[in-house]
Amino acid sequence: MRPNVDTRILALALARMVDALANSFLVVVLPLYIGSQLVSMPSFVGTTLSFGPVGVPLSTELLIGVVLSLFGFLNSLSQPFTGSLSDRTGRRRVFLLTGLALVAVGSAGYLVFTDYGSILVMRALQGIGAAFTIPVTVALVNELSGEDERGGNFGLFNTFRLLGFGTGPLVAGGVVTAGPYSLAGVELSGFDAAFLVAVVGAAVSFVLIVLLIEDPERTDSEAADDISLSVRNPDGSGLDAVFALGVATVVMALSIAMYAPLANVINERLDQGTFLFSVQFGATVLANVVFQYPIGRLSDRYGRRPFLVGGFVLLLPTTLAQGFVQTPGLMILARFLQGVAVAAVFAPSLALAGDLAKAGQSGSTLSILTMGFGLGVAIGALFSGVLVGFGFAVPFVAATALGAVGLLLVYTQVGETVDVDGGGGGGSHAPAGGD
């Protein structure tokens, strides 16, 4: 099966790679920054919030989780609105540029404000910005893809995006550690340098979009005026397949997002520094970079469902292991194998949702999955910050249990939409009932 890649998808993937590299700096740097002595923290840090017999420690880790989850909640919950609006207007490009501008402004704000409240505001601004870009980019990939190459194109797009996202943490750890710097006579801390890189990355991505991306030829949208989700399968019993995929995506994203807020706790537990944590964080993304495209292409030939099921089967033990390993090397291995599991799920699930999307509804339909991913990242960040107070392994055990629910949903509610010879489907939102 010879790859046939649209140059417009390559251009879009390149722009997203640069933006993702800049944003991934913040995923690693913000927990370290907030946990340092440079940020003015609220006076209630260190106290315990009681709910009857249960007490939740108001720790720095919990507040880090709040910052990271705020981005995800605003990002994910806004995506159905921005995806639907972009469908109705057909204005993909202006949504991308608006989102990138908001992300750049938020990154610049970290250079100016050093109190926790302001950091919350800047991260919220970035979350809204991401909501303008994410559903629009995947809608463009879907609209530019034929039915027999959709999995490969989503795999390629995610490979570039994740290459940026995976490279960022490795570089971020080095940038922070090597500071301070002197730039044109101005003294910059390692954190300031990392924030500046994020600003430049968003600006470069903005320029690439301006130069390389045009709105596609307008397709009359069939999107409804409301953005209500179909929960039940309209053609039979069970859940709507895209809704089931969206819920499973929440679980998958939650499992990989728990790691970043626990940076300081993990470093202490494994007796390691910032660089090794960055390697562990990046290992999951590296596996995605290596496996996304080939798995996407294989799903075009052999179907989406086998990879979705297999990915969730692998996700369970690799998530659980992270709560119990005792050495940095084993943590890197567990994170890498978890990344393989995510790669087996992500590109085929986007491709399957694209198979099901009606004409002019790519933004609305695919936003269910991108919303699910963002919501999972948001919940995972908060999830780990709360549960780690009850024991280090607790967040990972709970995430594994939720992963089993995701596996059950995929196995029972998601069927095939493309022929195994790559013929393409466009089937209904039907549950599986087997292969």
Sequential DSSP letters for 99-168: HHHHHHHHHHHTTT--BHHHHHHHHHHHHHHHHHHHHHHHHHHHHT--TTTHHHHHHHHHHHHHHHHHHH
pLDDT computed for residue 432 by the predictor = 37
C-beta separation of 213 from 96 below 8 A: yes
Query: How far is residue 107's CA from residue 101's CA, in Å, rounded to a whole number?
Result: 10
* Matching residue, tokens 């972009």: 86
- pLDDT reading at 324 higher than 90: yes
Which pair of tokens denotes residue 166? 């995976």
Average pLDDT over every residue of 345-371: 77
Residue 429 or 365, more confident: 365
- pLDDT reading at 226 higher than 60: no
3-state helix, strand, coil in the chain (%, to 5): 70, 5, 25
Query: How far is residue 100's CA from residue 87's CA, in Å, rounded to a whole number?
Result: 19
Average pLDDT over the chain reads 80
Q: Tens digits of per-residue pLDDT, 80-121?
A: 888 888 888 777 888 889 988 998 898 899 988 888 889 999
C-beta separation of 49 from 239 below 8 A: no
- What is the end-to-end Cα distance of the chain in Å, rounded? 23
- What is the tally of helices (H) and strands (E) in the chain? 13, 4
Query: How far is residue 3's CA from residue 415's CA, in Å, rounded to a whole number?
Result: 25
C-beta separation of 309 from 385 below 8 A: no
Query: How far is residue 273's CA from residue 177's CA, in Å, rounded to a whole number?
Result: 10
Query: How far is residue 314's CA from residue 291's CA, in Å, rounded to a whole number?
Result: 14
- Tell me the percentage of the chain whose pLDDT exceeds 70: 84
Pairing of strands 54-57, 181-183: unpaired
